[in-house]
């Protein structure tokens, strides 16, 4: 087999060194960098394509559909649903999961009106532009939750259209969880029997199942579909996710495709057959108790970070059951150094499994140095 020339090899080596360097200061985004999938590397010798419905046989046999079904059933348990009531598949990530929720909602309620808060992930507004769906942005509370009074009044004014609500189960910047009980009570108060809730649980969908007192987040709390990321709390060398929906709603959109010998129920055609395998491996290896310990550790590091900020007189906080620590926006130099996510006057760090107290200490040291330099510059 032909090998790369020296120049190409050097380019790869430089890229690897850059990735390793930046991995040591990865604080602002919810992507777990701590995992080991080496026992699965042998599967990289094959092109695994999970085209079509994972629960149906297909003429394309180089797939991991059986593994994917196990993953879906496990996530159904996490999301408090009976296996017989839900359907799902492994996606390319949270955006695809959100789009699938919109897809089902539009099929059920073509005249529906979408409601989402100003703290909702940017993928939602992008999807709405793509599908040209009518929508209204709802105000957010200071902690990132939806403003339920605004939601109530807005739906009341448009009660002729079935409401399609995007509920955040952990907002992007503040980790806030929208109150599903309150949203459902609004439907009841306004006597709206036709409605749909899609839950964007990209990060917190793998946190709330493993805490002692979670906010309502699953199918038992009235959601119709839910999207969870695989590369966030679980960790993966490539983006992935899971979308779950009520089976009775999915059956309305299924189409038979002779070419692949199965039903077409997903959004994408070809799907990564490695993603379900990596998720399955992580779920089996760690187990429910392991994820509970992992989440506890992340929340403890988040508390440690909040305390370190407060000891230095910096206002920092986190929402209940969130590993996202919010604090005033620092200089661009610090944002770039630690790859922080920022929005207007705030920034955050996210205590993912690869973030330990030593990393927080190193960040706080550079934070103090940055404050000192800014003070000197202002003098």
**pLDDT averages per 10-residue partition of the chain, 379 residues:** 92 97 95 96 96 86 96 98 96 96 94 97 94 95 98 97 98 98 98 97 98 98 98 96 95 58 76 97 97 98 98 96 97 95 97 98 93 72
User: pLDDT digit string (tens) for 114-138?
Assistant: 999 999 999 999 999 998 899 999 9
Both 280 and 292 in one domain: the answer is: no
User: pLDDT digit string (tens) for 80-122?
Assistant: 999 999 999 999 999 999 999 999 999 999 999 999 999 999 9
**Spatial distance between the Cα atoms of 41 and 84, rounded to a whole number of angstroms:** 33
Query: Which pLDDT value is given to residue 255?
Result: 58
- Asked if 312 and 368 touch (Cβ cutoff 8 Å), the reply is yes
User: pLDDT digit string (tens) for 201-214?
Assistant: 999 999 999 999 99
* Domain presence at residue 1: no
354 three-class SS:
coil
What CATH number does residue 75 fall under? 3.40.640.10
Tell me the sheet residues that pair with 244. Answer: 88, 226
How many Cβ atoms sit within 10 Å of the Cβ of residue 157? 9
Residues of the domain holding 62 = 39-284
Query: Which pLDDT value is given to residue 257?
Result: 47
Closest CA to 317 of 303, 331, 329, 330: 303
What CATH number does residue 367 fall under? 3.90.1150.10
Last residue in a domain, options 251, 284, 317: 284
* Sequence-separated contacts (24+) of 180-184 with Cβ below 8 Å: 180/215, 180/216, 180/217, 180/221, 180/222, 180/223, 181/216, 181/221, 182/148, 183/146, 183/148, 183/151, 183/222, 184/221, 184/222
* Domain presence at residue 332: yes
**Spatial distance between the Cα atoms of 185 and 222, rounded to a whole number of angstroms:** 11
Both 66 and 203 in one domain: the answer is: yes
How many domains is the chain partitioned into structurally?
2
Query: Which pLDDT value is given to residue 206?
Result: 98
Both 17 and 90 in one domain: the answer is: no
- Which token pair is 221? 């709390």
Last residue in a domain, options 259, 284, 309: 284
Both 189 and 131 in one domain: the answer is: yes
- Which token pair is 168? 């955040």
* Domain presence at residue 150: yes
Both 213 and 274 in one domain: the answer is: yes
Query: Which pLDDT value is given to residue 259?
Result: 42
- Asked if 249 and 104 touch (Cβ cutoff 8 Å), the reply is yes
Both 251 and 297 in one domain: the answer is: no
**Spatial distance between the Cα atoms of 25 and 133, rounded to a whole number of angstroms:** 39
Last residue in a domain, options 266, 284, 302: 284
Query: Which pLDDT value is given to residue 254?
Result: 64
**Spatial distance between the Cα atoms of 80 and 62, rounded to a whole number of angstroms:** 31
Backbone phi, psi, residue 209, to 5°: -65, -15
Backbone phi, psi, residue 272, to 5°: -65, 115
**Spatial distance between the Cα atoms of 308 and 361, rounded to a whole number of angstroms:** 8
């Amino acid at each position: 087999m032909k090998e790369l020339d020296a120049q190409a090899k050097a380019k790869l080596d430089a890229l690897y060194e850059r990735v390793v360097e930046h991995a040591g200061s990865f604080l602002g985004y919810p992507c777990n960098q701590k995992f080991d999938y080496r026992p699965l590397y042998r599967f990289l010798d094959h092109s695994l394509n999970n085209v079509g419905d994972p629960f149906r046989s297909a003429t394309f046999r180089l797939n991991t559909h059986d593994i994917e079904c196990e993953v879906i059933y496990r996530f159904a348990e996490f999301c408090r649903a009976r296996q017989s009531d839900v359907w799902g598949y492994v996606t390319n990530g949270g955006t695809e999961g959100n789009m699938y929720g919109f897809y089902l909602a539009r099929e059920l309620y073509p005249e529906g009106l979408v409601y989402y808060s100003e703290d909702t992930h940017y993928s939602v507004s992008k999807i709405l532009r793509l599908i040209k769906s009518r929508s209204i942005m709802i105000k957010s509370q200071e902690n990132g939750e939806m403003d339920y009074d605004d939601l109530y009044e807005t739906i009341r004014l448009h009660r002729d259209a079935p409401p399609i609500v995007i509920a955040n189960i952990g907002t992007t910047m503040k980790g806030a969880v929208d109150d599903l009980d309150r949203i459902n009570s609004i439907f009841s108060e306004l006597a709206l029997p036709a409605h749909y809730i899609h839950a964007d649980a990209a990060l917190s969908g793998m946190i709330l199942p493993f805490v002692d007192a979670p906010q309502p987040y699953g199918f038992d709390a009235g959601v119709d579909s839910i999207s969870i990321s695989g590369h966030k709390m679980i960790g993966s060398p490539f983006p992935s996710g899971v979308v779950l929906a009520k089976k009775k709603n999915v059956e309305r959109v299924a189409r038979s495709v002779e070419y692949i010998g199965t039903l077409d129920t997903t959004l994408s055609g070809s799907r990564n057959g490695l993603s379900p395998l990596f998720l399955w491996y992580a779920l089996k290896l760690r187990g429910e108790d392991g994820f509970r310990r992992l989440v506890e550790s992340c929340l403890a590091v988040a508390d440690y970070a909040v305390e370190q900020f407060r000891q230095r007189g910096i206002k920092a906080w986190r929402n209940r059951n969130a590993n996202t620590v919010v604090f005033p926006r620092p200089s661009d130099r610090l944002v770039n150094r630690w790859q922080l996510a920022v929005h207007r006057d705030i920034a955050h760090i996210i205590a993912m499994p690869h973030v330990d107290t030593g990393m927080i200490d190193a960040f706080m040291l550079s934070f103090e140095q940055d404050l000192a330099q800014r003070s000197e510059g202002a003098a």
